[in-house]
Structure 1
Amino acid sequence: MTTLASRFGRALSSELGVDFATRQVSNEVVFRHLDPELLEECFSWEGLNEILSRGSAEPAEFLLYADGKSLPEHQYTVTRGGRRVFDLSKMFALMRSGASLIIDSLDRIHPGVRVATDDIMRITGETSACNMFVTFDDAQAFPSHFDEVDTFVVQILGTKRWQIHGPSEEFPLPEYGDSDPVNCPESVLFERTLVPGDVMHVPRGWWHTVRGGGDTSLHLTFTFTRRTGYDWLRWVMRQALSRVEIRGNLDRAGTPEAQEAQAERILAAFLAEAKSLPPAEFFAAERRASGGRDLSSLPWDVLKARPSADAVVELVPVLPPVVHVDADQVTVTTADQNLTLPAEHLAVIELLIRERRATVAGLADRTGSPVGSVAALVSALLQYRLVTVSGGRTPRAERGTVR
């Protein structure tokens, strides 16, 4: 695993230990307590106020919930300058009446949350996202429910009362599962009022009942979607499209015997494909396709000059890219694209994957490579969106001048 980017991610990984990945994830509630200051580095009232003051949370999804229902947007927005923006007076009145504020995909608009979310992905190896919940008094946004994803609940500010009831069926999916609250088990397996610094893992499919703690509450949920047998089978089916038996027309007008024979041929073709593509191949293909967020590195994205020795280089892919060495070449694969480079760059690439962030000079010094060679490599990686570059001295010809 590449070096985690946030103090929160490093602290959480240390607290979870190896048992979480090997035994506890998706199987039991896990509770830990971190330094609250680490969590406020991720998000705070100031961060929320800045978002609200923009008048919009796009491209994240902004919702107000009360009594288990999403409130219509027109109740808390107004049209100004041809666009819909928040009406904070209306919004706060609704919240005083018991509405809870939710921002889905907060990681898409807040840098600190984005870095923490990417660390959750590095810890779990799964696709991750972050949602924010704000509740006042003892308000309850949702009735008892379960989520089809595993979740880290992170209490940032205030308190929230949680009851975990356990599952009513094993491993529900968005495509399968009965989430009617009448199915919530009556028994309570875990109960706690979370305070700032508390982190709790709630397994997929485990029912929970949540209320405000009586004053204020701001918490984040980092969700991560584990791969299932259904995901593997869907992937195998896509690969099996190369087989004519899978693509062929079903024999609607045929006899029952002919239809049964065709079904046998289709199943045989699919099983042959599945046996040649075990889950390990699925995971490998997923890693090759995994990339990172599309981030800007101006001015270096446009400048023709190579980054200077003091420029800071950061790896973009969240999960380590696949590196293949063949004779005098090294190929880096991420987001289903291949970048082939001379093998002399291997040491720099491996160091960057391991450390994730370093200066051009630091990469050169620690690998014994010429600074110019590293700068050239970074320029190539930048064009393929594999790294970001920040800081550094821009060449005098590209610098702006005051007139």
Structure 2
Amino acid sequence: MTDGSGGARPALRRCVPLPAGEFAERNWDRAPLLSRRVDDYTDLLDLDDVDELLSRRALRTPFVRMAQQGKVIPASRYTGGAGPGAEVGDQVRDERVFELLAGGATLVLQGLHRLWPPLVDLAGGLGRELGVPVQINAYLTPPGNQGFATHYDTHAVFVLQVAGTKRWRVHPPVVTDPVERQPWGHRADEVAAVAAGEPTIDEVLAPGDTLYLPRGWLHAAGALDDWSLHLTVGLRAPTRLSVVEALLDLAAEEPALRAGLPMGTDLGDGSSIAPVLADTVKALHEWLDTLAPHDVADRWRRTTTSVARPAPMRPVAQAAALARLSAGDRVRLRPGLPVRISTPDPDRVSIEAPDRTATVPAVCTAAVRALLDGAPRRVGDLPGLDGDDRLVLARRLLTEAILILDD
């Protein structure tokens, strides 16, 4: 079974059985979708893996969270000092986790897309296919228990049932398309009122089943008569508000929009603010007319770098390979790294990543374009350069972590 890192099986196919186009048209950001027997997910994470993470991987908060009967359990109840040589006080204590699990608490392993290899690969593949940052958490609930009360998320999710069974109750949103600044806790009374009504979905998920929930849809889930383990794959897709936020960041660089207001202006008084508002809107329109789409795109790329990390690389192997790189070695663009080629002047070509830019002579243009198309390339086959220049270019882009070695 191929993982989500670019093999024969697309990562999206592991989450939903529909063709991508049909899913995009029918369900994406629109409607829930329950699918039966989609896949076996035990290769991604199983109960033995959970024990491995808890007992041997020295996890710390916030990678672990626990809850019971709708309330989050303080981390101090299941974490403590790590012992000699590790001066931290929030390492997970497996015996305390055991006590809480035995008492019916739900365990949440957070950020597994950053630390568990099969889920790193799945998140990377899904992120590249959908063009969105992806996060993955795991939820383990003892038989007959429920960790969290009815709530909604401000991002869409795929639920992948790994082991055991869990009953899901799904209700329509109380807020259409909520964003992060609109968490469910601010509308707890409305959520509770809707949750008291008839659910849109009331089904039991068994191993291999999946559930897609657009952001805002209310949901609660409880384990039945066995231990339930599921993965929640969060899709943090940008919205039109994301474009507005990128514009707001850029607006801070425009002097006309940073100008102070007349002395005595009362922003809480409609008559006082009216002329200021008119002038501000006029200045905003004039500034927006000067923007090019790539200005907004560049700002978005820079501000999302820490959210959507590229595929992992092997720092030691890559560092060791630099000195002995040969024409026979194969390199490729680091998967998941957004890059853009620009020509600041006729003599140079720049490779722009979100947090760095590598500029090389214009004679490298054909080779750069070949390297950045995503396919593995033999260094000795790079077009437009001789042998030594090919090695120099490959070393430069490996050093910038724009390229990685192709194993």
TM-score by length of 2: 0.81
Contact 1:317 1:386 in 2 (8 A): no
Contact map agreement 2:138 2:231 (CA 8 A) in 1: yes
User: Which residue of structure 2 lines up, in the alignment, with residue 323 of structure 1?
Assistant: 341
Q: Deviations over 1:75-131 (max 9, x none)?
A: 223323343333322211211211010022111211221111122211221222111
Q: Matches of 1:199 and 1:366 in 2, distance apart?
A: 44
2:50 is aligned, of 38, 48, 51, to: 48
Q: Which runs of 5+ in 2 are unaligned?
A: none
Deviation at 1:345, TM superposition (A): 0.5
Amino acid at match of 2:278: E
Aligned residue runs from structure 1 range 189-208, under 5 A? 189-208=200-219
Task: Tell me whether 1:267 sits opposite 2:281 in the alignment.
Answer: yes
C-alpha change, 1:176 and 1:76, in structure 2 (3 Å) is: closer
Within 5 A, what are the aligned runs for 1:222-261?
Answer: 222-254=233-265, 259-261=273-275
Instruction: Provide closer, same or farther for how the CA distance between residues 49 and 370 of structure 1 changes in structure 2, counting only shifts above 3 A.
Output: farther
Say if 2:88 is the partner of 1:83: yes
Shift of 1:246: 2.1
Distance in 1 (alpha carbons) for counterparts of 2:290 and 2:238: 19
Q: Residues 21, 123 of structure 1: CA spacing in aligned structure 2 closer, same or farther, 3 A cutoff?
A: farther
Deviation of residue 219 (structure 1)? 1.2
Counterpart for residue 404 of structure 2? 388
**Cα deviation per residue 1:138-167 (whole Å; 9 max; x = unaligned)?**
211111111011111112222222122121
Three-state SS of the structure 1 residue aligned to 2:257 is helix
Q: Which residue type is aligned with residue 206 of structure 1? A: W
**TM-score normalised by length of structure 1:** 0.81
Partner SS state of residue 211, structure 2: strand
2:141 aligns with 135
State how 1:4-403 maps to structure 2 within 5 Å: 4-5=5-6, 7=9, 9=11, 11-12=13-14, 15-33=18-36, 36-37=39-40, 39-54=41-56, 56-58=58-60, 60-79=62-81, 80-81=83-84, 82-84=87-89, 85-176=91-182, 178-180=186-188, 181-185=191-195, 186-254=197-265, 259-277=273-291, 282-283=296-297, 285-287=299-301, 292-293=309-310, 295-301=313-319, 304-308=322-326, 313-318=331-336, 320-324=338-342, 330-341=349-360, 342-346=364-368, 348-351=370-373, 353=374, 355=375, 358=376, 361=378, 375-389=391-405
> RMSD of the TM alignment (CA)?
3.3
5+ long unaligned stretches in structure 1: 392-403
Q: Kindly state the Cα deviation for residue 199 of structure 1 after the two structures are TM-superposed.
A: 2.5
Contact 1:15-1:32 at 8 Å conserved across structures: no
* CA apart distance, 1:197: 2.2
Secondary structure of 2:316's counterpart equals coil
Q: Give, in whole Å, the separation in 2 of the partners of 1:155 and 1:375.
A: 48
Change (3 A) 1:53 1:254: closer
- Report if aligned partners of 2:328, 2:380 keep a CA contact under 8 Å in 1: no
Change (3 A) 1:349 1:290: farther
**Deviation at residue 208 of structure 1 after TM alignment:** 0.9
Rounded Cα–Cα distance in structure 1 between residues aligned with 2:112 and 2:395? 31
One-letter identity of the residue aligned with 2:336? V
The answer to whether the Cα contact below 8 Å between 2:134 and 2:233 also exists between their aligned partners in 1 is yes
- In the alignment, the residues of structure 1 paired with residue 219 and residue 387 of structure 2 have an alpha-carbon distance, to the nearest angstrom, of 55
Relative to 1, partners in 2 of residues 1:233 and 1:216: Cα closer, same or farther, differing over 3 Å? Answer: same
Per-residue CA deviation, residues 234-290 of structure 1 (Å, 9 max, x unaligned), is 221222223334212233525876643222212222233345548786346434766
On the 8 A contact 1:348/1:374 being kept in 2, the answer is no
Deviations 1:195-231 (A, max 9, x none): 2222221000000121113212211111122222322
Structure 1 residues 368 and 19, CA gap change in structure 2 (3 angstroms): farther
